[in-house]
Amino acid sequence: MKLYCMQVAPNPTKVMLYIAEKIAGGAALDITEIPVKLMKGEQHLPAHRRRTPFASVPVLEIEPGDYIIESLSIMAYLEDRYPQPCMIGASARERARISELERIADLRVLSPIARFIHATHSPIGLPPSADIAAQARLDFTPGLEYFDACFDDDRSFVAGETVTMADCTLAAALQFARFAELDIDPDFANVHRWDMDYRRRDAAQAVLVV
């Protein structure tokens, strides 16, 4: 299999972290990462447009001509094929909670951080917008407050004592903030503690570059 991706870009990063955590846990995944240089516009080239009409990353090529083009769908596919180590929860309640946490990390932290960055100094050249940036900053604060409260019990990972896909999404969001030199309020001490601990993991060391 091939994963078309780009380092630092948050959606590819969460999939790359997920794969790295799977491999670190013993899964025999054989996936070649193919970089797509977004800042050079390679996502708009005909070859990549044939993989996805949305000119986006990540894209997982299962076999020639067969692609999965959404990050959650990629992780769901790989989880079905390589169920161990489990990163989505064992019971129905665990799966619901981990999915919920991943969605909160994506929609209420990663997405507004990305909007803020693209509205201030977009790495792919989008026009700046002070209004969008101001609203985005307001939007990602409640998500960080939520996770800071989750970590009040000194848990090791977002969902408890086992790494899950929710950790991958939150770590991808915080790396993107570091890349853009967007300071996360130091009052979110629990989030900062978790972030520092997670970045020491072998999987994180293999993927995160900022």
Spatial separation of the C-alpha atoms in residues 68 and 76, rounded to whole Å: 10
Are 87 and 22 contacting, i.e. CB atoms less than 8 angstroms apart? Answer: yes
Same domain, yes or no: 74 and 106: no
Domain boundary among 60, 81, 102: 81
Q: pTM higher than 0.85, yes or no?
A: yes
The pair of three-digit structure tokens given for residue 102, joined into one six-digit string? 């991943």
Same domain, yes or no: 126 and 146: yes
Same domain, yes or no: 174 and 101: yes
Alpha helices (H) in the chain, listed in sequence order: 10-24, 46-49, 71-81, 92-105, 111-121, 130-150, 165-179, 189-198, 202-207
Q: pLDDT grade, residue 5 (50/70/90)?
A: very high
Same domain, yes or no: 113 and 200: yes
- Please, is 200 exposed, middle or buried when counting C-beta atoms within 10 Å of its C-beta (0-12, 13-18, 19+)? exposed
Q: What is the pLDDT of residues 54-111, one digit of tens each?
A: 999 999 999 999 999 999 999 999 999 999 999 999 999 999 999 999 999 999 999 9
Domain boundary among 81, 102, 122: 81
Q: pLDDT grade, residue 53 (50/70/90)?
A: very high
**Domain around 42:** 2-81
Instruction: Classify residue 96: in a domain, yes or no.
Output: yes
Contacts of 159 (CB under 8 A, 6+ apart): 89, 94, 97, 98, 101, 166, 167
Spatial separation of the C-alpha atoms in residues 117 and 184, rounded to whole Å: 13
Spatial separation of the C-alpha atoms in residues 199 and 204, rounded to whole Å: 5
Instruction: Classify residue 210: in a domain, yes or no.
Output: no
